[in-house]
Amino acid sequence: MMRETYEARAAKNSNPLVSDIFRIIAEKKTNLCVSLDVTTTTKLLKLADDLGPYVCIFKTHIDIIDDFSYKSTIEPLVELSKKHNFLIFEDRKFADIGSTVQHQYDSGIYKIVNWAHLVTVHGVPGSGILSGLNLAAEPVVQKIGQHRGALMLAQLSSKGSLAFGEYTQGCVQMANESNFVAGFIAQSREATKLKSESVASRDWLILTPGVAIGITGDGLGQQYKTPEMAMERGSDVIIVGRGIIGDDKEPIKEAIRYREAAWNAYLKEIK
């Protein structure tokens, strides 16, 4: 499919966080997000420093870090995000009522809202989840002058996922009614278009996980497509975990390969 350049979309988007992301992608010429699914702070920070130049966003699952501490895990990660100009996306997959997620976002040991530009959110509980997260984000946005936003899980990459059809449409409807939503985790842009379009659709940021080269699954339900396939379906950013940082991989070499594949696929499609 043909698409506009990231630069053009950055200039037009009314959501400042989405504009920032499109701008970083255009400047660094990378639409790659690496999923840093590792269990130690040392591995997390080494990968963030080594791969920082090749990504626009790093995705984390901060609750799988065995030796987590705010000071030794988060503070250096935030420094690296400034050094290499990437954003941080904590894949928290919030899924509770507004009041609970508000605290899960700003309290506990992780205090996610302080450092993660993006977080993932399930639509299951209804729109209160977005209001609760937004309540936690407002004071932080005020205080540190950075933007915060949610990516709603419109579709999942895993086999047998229940997130399709009417559920996906419901998520898009919820997103349309909240300024806190930056975009979607989805397998295709098409799925994030409302069938009954009464309001003009926003220019959503679409991130696509379940991307790998030369492998179709992981034996636990993950289903892979290639960077080219994800881009052809209208993705803006591919999310790659084990394809780049897997035990048998050379992460820098793989990051360069995936970045090139996704960037060339984008170049083929621009108007």
Place of tokens 């059809």: 165
Residue 241 half-sphere exposure, CB side, CA atoms within 13 Å?
A: 16
In the annotation, is 93 catalytic? Answer: yes
Cβ atoms of residues 229 and 264 within 8 Å: no
Closer residue to ligand S5P in complex, CB, 89/180: 89
The verdict on 265 binding ligand S5P (CB under 6 A) reads no
d(CA 240, CA 249): 13
Q: Of 43, 46, 93, 111, which one is the catalytic site residue?
A: 93
Distances (CA, A) of 188 to 49, 195, 208: 31, 15, 8
Q: Residue 157 annotated as binding?
A: yes
Task: Please identify which residue in 34, 74, 243, 254 interacts with ligand S5P, judged by CB under 6 A.
Answer: 243
Q: 18 to 47, contacts with ligand S5P by CB under 6 A?
A: 35, 37
Task: Please identify which residue in 15, 73, 120, 168 interacts with ligand S5P, judged by CB under 6 A.
Answer: 120
With contacts defined by CB under 6 A, name the span among 48-56, 111-119, 129-137, 154-162 that binds ligand S5P.
154-162
Beta-strand pair 149-153/205-208: unpaired
Q: Residues 74-113 vs ligand S5P: string with x where CB under 6 A?
A: -----------------x----------------------
Give me the amino acid identity at 165: G
Closer residue to ligand S5P in complex, CB, 10/204: 204
Q: How far is the CB of 54 from ligand S5P (least distance, A)?
A: 16
The verdict on 168 binding ligand S5P (CB under 6 A) reads no
3 state DSSP class of 209: coil
In the annotation, is 96 catalytic? Answer: yes
3 state DSSP class of 134: helix
With contacts defined by CB under 6 A, name the span among 11-19, 79-87, 190-198, 241-249 that binds ligand S5P.
241-249
Closer residue to ligand S5P in complex, CB, 104/222: 222
Q: Residue 188 annotated as binding?
A: no
Q: How far is the CB of 121 from ligand S5P (least distance, A)?
A: 11
